[in-house]
Structure 1
């Protein structure tokens, strides 16, 4: 994005601010949720979510490789 902008400092400051705010919101939301939901449930949901994301990334890598190989006519 900064490569196409005439103001790379503005892009850097904007993206840095967005990262800080997203982290702050996540930390505050996580702290609030942990007051109402037991820790074991939160850990179970987090582990299941990471497992599902990992499987999806793994499957998508094979799909990408197959599409790339078809495009390049690689056996």
Structure 2
């Protein structure tokens, strides 16, 4: 897990650190948009009384639908 550089107390970030933070935020926003797409489905946002195997299948199906929506490649399950 990576985190952005924090501005030091009474100081400034270097140009390199600012560039790294900008790159980090552009990757992070993509992930946050994908999470939003997954949470559109109500079953993901709420607790649902299914056994764990059925719930896993439902979540995987929703993730596949989101992948199709964003046009990503479908990765093989391992």
Bigger share in helix:
1
Q: Which range, TM-score by smaller chain?
A: 0.3 to 0.5
Structure exhibiting the larger radius of gyration computed from Cα positions: 1
Which one scores higher on RCO, CA 8 angstroms, separation ≥ 6?
2
Q: TM-score, normalised by structure 2?
A: 0.37
Length-normalised TM-score, structure 1:
0.38
